Amino acid sequence: MKRSVPLIITFLTGFFLVVAFFVPHEPFGELEQRLLVWFAIVSGFTMLLGIDNLIRSHARRIARTNTGWGHSIVLLMGLVVTVVVGVIGFSRLGSPFHIHSPFMFVYTHVIVPLQGTMFALLAFFIASASYRAFRARNTVATLLLISALIVMLGRIPIGAAISDFFPAAQEWIMDVPQLAAKRGIQIGAALGAVSMSLRIILGIERSYLS
Amino acid sequence: MENSPRKGFWEAMNSLDRRIIFLILLVCVAVPLLLNVGAPIPPTPPVQLAYDAVESLEAGDVMMVSIDFDATSAPELMPMLHSALRHAFSKDVRVVMLGHIAIGLPLGHMALEEIAAEYDKEYGVDYVDLGYRPGYIAVMIAMGRDISDIFASDYQGTPLAELPVMTGVRSYNDIELLFGFEHGAVIDYWVRYTQARFGQRMTFGTTAVMAPDAYPYLQAGQIEGLVGGLKGAAEYENLIGHLGLGTRGMPAQQWAHLLVIGFIVLGNLGYFFTRRKG
């Protein structure tokens, strides 16, 4: 009973949604819309679960003074401060996202620069890796390396200034071999998704119950 | 046996301190940015198609703008967002903004307010920010039937029925074009669940690293245009005749690319010589 009820719910939900895709008329259309709204609401609650998990795990780390417990304090303080300024913005201006709200100040001056800095570091590691790891060790690696050089040159103005070949070759690489490989991967992934969905709907795949 | 001078040189190059590489890159990126130079970039076909899609809109038409990125991709996507908004507002197109990356949506909102002010557009009349709702695919499919089922109000809590900009806008049938700004897999959801199912016209701006993922959709005609990376942003700026951050950032990108190319060539020469002699 404990396993069959969830399996029946999964089967009926999956079945009705598949039917609704092909028959968007009543009652399927309305039922699908209702289920989608429920999904959006449930998704919202998963954020609460995430916050709960975040607080618990970092509070535990602080209490036990595990490695990095100082970082956990900063993280929890960041969480509290962001929530507080959000609530202040909501109560004073009607929305934390109002352009003059304190939340937007924190967002603009802390969150955005921090995210930008973290991602910008990637450029330095790519430059270092390109020097140390991108080697023509065999034929395939050499082909990849030559393609990369042509695409990089084709995507900057100096490439076109050197020769019209580079922008044209860059476009060809993107339009033909790259696209063929990408399309193959996408078709494979889609077939895998269909297969897995059918397995779940039919109750063959049950790992989500455990 | 002692190393030859040439081999010694390449071995020394192979073990070059990474901090020197970091420093050279910093100079290559910072100097062009500080010099603030940049020349117009001629448009490529995918960007021209994206421009044409917006250009085909008429005054009063609705363009939905989806903010599906955050600050990590802002240097590439914000310039193209600015250009697309300028293009839409210059044609008196109504703009409906929403987003699927909660932490990035305020960036879109700030750009919307900034560009709307340039064209004297009024919030609620000419443009609106619907905000964020969790659920990606569920949100996209549900909007095909009724947007207000998911977005009952805008980001400030004002009911959609009270916003003149939403007059006559109920579902994708009333949205002429979707322009999404993407740094991840949300573009796949838009195409699979909104274009394939509802036939929504759409065009996208993506980070350079994401652009290859979008090429199959472009070639299949599922999306009308593609603005890829900073170069795409610079091309779009050229098309609308308003050079901005994309064009100014291109010299920095150019030197960074040249530097990486140089590093790859140098690294491989070192690999070749040390391996041969070793």
Structure confidence by residue, pLDDT tens digits, B245-264: 999 999 999 999 999 999 99
What pLDDT does A20 receive? 85
Q: Which two tokens stand for residue B254?
A: 């150019």
Q: Is the ipTM of this complex over 0.85?
A: no
CA-nearest residue to A91 within chain B is B156
Give B66's strand partners: B98, B180
Residue of A32, A36, A182 to mutate, testing the B interface (most B Cβ within 10 Å of its Cβ): A36
Cβ–Cβ below 8 Å for A179 and B44:
no
CA-nearest residue to B268 within chain A is A135
Phi and psi of B198, rounded to 5°?
A: -110, -5
Q: Which 75-94 residues of chain B touch chain A by CB within 8 A?
A: 75
Cβ–Cβ below 8 Å for A37 and B155:
no
Regarding whether B264 and B202 lie in a shared domain, the answer is no
Task: Please report residues of B whose CB lies closer than 8 A to that of A47.
Answer: 134
The H helix count followed by the E strand count for chain A is 9, 0
Residues of chain A below pLDDT 70: none
Q: Is residue B248 part of a domain?
A: no
Distances (CA, A) of B271 to A175, B32, B104, B266: 32, 31, 42, 9
Taking only the tens place, the pLDDT of each residue in B186-213 is 999 999 999 999 999 999 999 999 998 9
What confidence category does residue B272 fall into, taking pLDDT thresholds of 50, 70 and 90?
confident
Regarding whether B63 and B16 lie in a shared domain, the answer is no
Task: Please report residues of A whose CB lies closer than 8 A to that of B139.
Answer: 36, 40
Q: Which two tokens stand for residue B77?
A: 């996507």
What pLDDT does B198 receive? 93
Regarding whether B20 and B115 lie in a shared domain, the answer is no
Whether B198 contacts B144, CB under 8 Å = yes
Regarding whether B189 and B97 lie in a shared domain, the answer is yes
CA atoms within 13 A on the CB side of B175: 27
Phi and psi of B184, rounded to 5°?
A: -155, -150
Regarding whether B273 and B205 lie in a shared domain, the answer is no
- Closest CB to B134 among A43, A98, A131: A43
Looking at the 3D structure of chain B, how many domains does it have?
Answer: 2
Q: Which two tokens stand for residue B98?
A: 């929403």
Q: Is residue B247 part of a domain?
A: no
Regarding whether B168 and B75 lie in a shared domain, the answer is yes
Residue of A82, A156, A176 to mutate, testing the B interface (most B Cβ within 10 Å of its Cβ): A156
Dist CA A171 CA B42 (whole Å): 14
Domain with B27 in it = 5-37+255-277
Cα-Cα end-to-end distance for chain B = 11
**Looking at residue B161, which CATH number applies to its domain?**
3.40.50
Regarding whether B268 and B146 lie in a shared domain, the answer is no
Regarding whether B129 and B97 lie in a shared domain, the answer is yes
Task: Answer whether B105 touches A (CB < 8 Å).
Answer: yes
Dist CA A85 CA A103 (whole Å): 5
| pLDDT higher than 90, residue B38 | no
| pLDDT higher than 90, residue B112 | yes
For the entire predicted model, the pTM comes to: 0.88
Cβ–Cβ below 8 Å for A115 and B70:
yes
Whose CA is closest to B155, among A147, A46, A96, A173?
A96
**Mean pLDDT along residues B6-12:** 75
